[in-house]
Structure formats: C-alpha cells, structure tokens
Amino acid sequence: MSFEIIKPMEIEKESFRIIEKELEQMGKSFPKEIMPTVQRVIHTTADFEYADTLTFSIDCIQKAKKAIMEGAHIVTDTNMTLSGINKKMLQKFGGDVHCFMADEDVAKEAKEREVTRAIVSMEKAAKLGVPTIFAIGNAPTALIRLKELIDDGELKPELIIGVPVGFVNVVEAKELIMESDVPYIVNRGRKGGSTVAAAICNSLLYSVSEREL
Amino acid sequence: MSFEIIKPMEIEKESFRIIEKELEQMGKSFPKEIMPTVQRVIHTTADFEYADTLTFSIDCIQKAKKAIMEGAHIVTDTNMTLSGINKKMLQKFGGDVHCFMADEDVAKEAKEREVTRAIVSMEKAAKLGVPTIFAIGNAPTALIRLKELIDDGELKPELIIGVPVGFVNVVEAKELIMESDVPYIVNRGRKGGSTVAAAICNSLLYSVSEREL
C-alpha cells in the first residue's frame, strides 16, 4: 500500500479540489458566495448529500459576513461546536463564541421547568444584548425556542445556522426556521451535527478573512 | 406545524427505537455486543450508510470494555472528540482523555520536522506508558504512524478507533489499521469524523456502565 506524499498544508487544498471536481461530475453548481460553505460541509462529512439539502436564505452569506466584520458573537448548543470554531479568527473582529449548555444555572433552571437545557440556553443568549449568529448542531428545541423568541420580538439574530441531527422533531424544527424572516442556513432533513455547525461557521470566517480556502 | 411533546430524557430512547426499527426494515442485523455502537453512530450522523461500513475486529468490544474497566486512557486527535467523550464516566474507572494536537511542543516539533501534528501527537501518546484506546476521527497520518509504532514494537494499543473523514489518504490509512493485529473499530471509506469517534467511545463507556442506552 502506498501513500501520496503530501505536505500538511496541501491536504486541505487537495481535498477541496477533489470535492469541486466530484460536484462538477454530478452536475451540481452553486453561486460563488455559497460554494465555500457547501465545500467545507462536504469536507467535514465526506457526504455529498449535503449538496442537495443545504438551504440558504437570500443574501444570507453577505449578511453573515457583514455581521462578523462588525463584531457579531456566535452562540452554539454544543461544546463540540464551540471547540471546532476558529475562535482566534472571530475574536480578531471583536466577537466571541459561547455555549451555555453546561452552565450550572442553565442545568438547574431546565430541571425545575422540565424543559431542555437548550431552551434555557437560547433564553440566556437572547439576553446577551449583542449581535448574534446562532449555530445549532444538536438540539431541535433550541430552534423551536429561537423561533418563538423571534416571533415575540425578543430576539433578532444576524443568522441562524440550523443543522441539528436526529430523529425526533429535527426535520420539523428546521422547516420552522425557514418560515422566519431571519437569515438562515439550514440543512433540511435528519442530517447535520456539531461538526457541520462548526464547518459552516468556519467557512464564513474564512470568507471574511479571505483565507485561501 | 406540531411537535411531539416528549420529555428530554425520552428523546434519546425514542431515537434509538426509530434507528432499530429502520435497521430491521432494511434487513440489517448485528451481534448484540456491536449493536449499541452501530446505533450510536447512526444516532450521531443520521446516516444509515454506517451500518454497511463500520468494521469490527473479533471480540474488540469485549476487549475494549475490559480495558476501560481496568483504567485505560483514551487518546484522540481532535479537541472536538475530547469535548464529546463522557469524561466523567471514563474517570470513574481510573482513565482520562487526552488530545495533544494543540500542545506547543507538538506544534513546534511538527513544524521543525515538516510532519503533521497528528504524527507527533501519536509519538507523544506512545510515551504515556498507560493502556490506551486511540480514537482517531480526523488525521489519517495518525493512523499511519500508529501502525508504524505497532510494527516497531513501541506501542500495543488496547483498541484503535479508526474513523477519520476525508479525501486524501483516508481510505488507505483505515485499511492499513485493519492489517494490524490490534483490536480495531474502523469505518471503511471516506466517512467518519470527530463526532463519530466520540460516539463510538461513548457507546463503549455506556456499555461498560450498563447505562440504559
């Protein structure tokens, strides 16, 4: 068995070339501003199905990039996504990444109210009082609560990345977000997850920073 | 649109029931000891393709459970996997989870030698001197280096979880691990990732702890 000799820095570039080529062979094309996000999600999952299911509201990429440049924060529903986001790059623009899921006050309140910690986390995030991008890779209840907060006029997110994975309420919660008038990137269907949420955030950060990929 | 009213604790159980039912409808069955791992990976990805590609060496689950009970540590190649593993549960048995990828000495040495940080991380792990399970969800070079260390008699892992995702050297590196005589859980092909590596670790931990799922 032989392995291609390839420098560490070249591996990502080569992967993106392969993804681009295979998308082309499948006859799939995307607007220039969306392509880096589609590619990075496929890079993270090796799953080309995302090319059919990722859904973008009009001008969401431009709006998200503007928000990041103006110091928007990112709130996520898993510590895995928090761990995967390029925090240094976000901090350069003045923002930061938050996950309230493991906070003691959140756990306590969720238990008392018999709701998910994700619901309480979203309420806590709504009180941050800063422009916010929500990156939801796990909890459909987070998306449902976000929609309520938006409808009640308590929250106006810069972008909702709605990519929870799963089998219960997930498909419906994503469709719900697509009914809002907030900018969104949603992966329709069951698939998604923490790595997908982080990949989408990083694709936006790299676009803003004009990092080569 | 209506959402099923379901208590937080019931969501995972219901998801596992759905996965079991759909696997049955697909005519796919697994030995009793392997099923929880297959289910948890599908739970994490919503991707039933894993039922065809996850590959288990003989008695690997029993061996891994024994190692965990005897205090084995887990070494992973991403901080996302580290973040996703149920550390409290592992620590109850005396083990801990390590990721050396962001260590300064690792970054420095990798740069000097012009190799990946994953390679240097595996060498650092081999010097830990404790029984170790490797959970590799990202770097094929980690798997390649592990195979070399095993062949050179410098390392004898309790288990290798070989599930990097990607397009360059990934498929080949996984096949390489399957040639070793070390217990392994490998996902053949391009798919895998940090969440998959964490899911496999957690499935083993929950089996050992006799947690309900």
Contact between A1 and B195 using a beta-carbon 8 Å cutoff: no
For A:104-143, CB contacts with B below 8 A are 110, 114-117
Domain contains A37: no
Average pLDDT over residues A43-51: 98
User: What separation, in Å, do the N-terminal and C-terminal C-alpha atoms of chain B show?
Assistant: 30
- Whether the CB of B18 is below 8 Å from some CB of chain A: the reply is yes
Optimal mutation site among B88, B109, B195, interface A, most CBs of chain A within 10 A: B195
Residue A181 is classified by DSSP as S
Q: Find tokens 């604790």 and name the residue.
A: B9
Chain A hits for B165, CB-CB cut-off 8 Å, are: 44-46
| A33 vs A204: CA distance, rounded Å | 10
Say what percent of chain A tops pLDDT 70.
94
- For an interface test with A, give the residue of B2, B10, B151, B194 to mutate (most A CBs within 10 A): B194
List C-alpha distances in Å: B118 to B35, B146, B164.
30, 10, 12
Per-residue confidence band for B81, with pLDDT thresholds at 50, 70 and 90: very high
SS (H, E, C) chain A: CCCCCCCHHHHHHHHHHHHHHHHHHCCCCCCCCCHHHHHHHHHHHCCCCHHHHEEECCCHHHHHHHHHHCCCEEEECCHHHHHHCCHHHHHHCCCCEECCCCCHHHHHHHHHHCCCHHHHHHHHHHCCCCCEEEEECCCHHHHHHHHHHHHCCCCCCCEEEECCCCCCCHHHHHHHHHCCCCCEEEECCCCCCHHHHHHHHHHHHHHHHCCCC
Query: Does residue A7 lie in a domain region?
Result: no
Domain assignment of residue A41, yes or no:
no
Residue A123, pLDDT score: 98
Specify the DSSP element, H or E, that contains B73: strand B73-76
CATH number of the domain bearing residue B146: 3.40.50.10230
- Domain assignment present for residue B45? The answer is no
The residue whose two tokens read 């977000």 is A177
The per-residue pLDDT for range A55-81, each reduced to its tens digit, is 999 999 999 999 999 999 999 999 999
Domain containing residue A114? 52-209
Q: How far apart are CA A176 and CA B117, in angstroms?
A: 42
Q: Is B151 within the bounds of a domain? A: yes
State the total domains in chain A: 1
A143 located within any domain: yes
Percent above pLDDT 70 for chain B: 94
Write down the pLDDT at residue A129: 94
Looking at the domain assignment, is residue A21 inside a domain?
no
Sign of torsion over alpha carbons A41, A47, A48, A53: negative
Residue range A94-108: average pLDDT?
A: 97
The catalytic residue positions of A are: 43
- pLDDT confidence band for B166 (50 / 70 / 90): very high
**Would the pLDDT of B124 be above 90?**
yes
What's the whole-number average pLDDT of chain A? Answer: 94
Note the pLDDT of residue A5. Answer: 56
Q: Is residue A106 part of a domain?
A: yes
What pLDDT is recorded for position A210? 76
The pLDDT-based confidence of B11 (bands split at 50, 70, 90) is confident
Averaged pLDDT for residues A37-44:
98
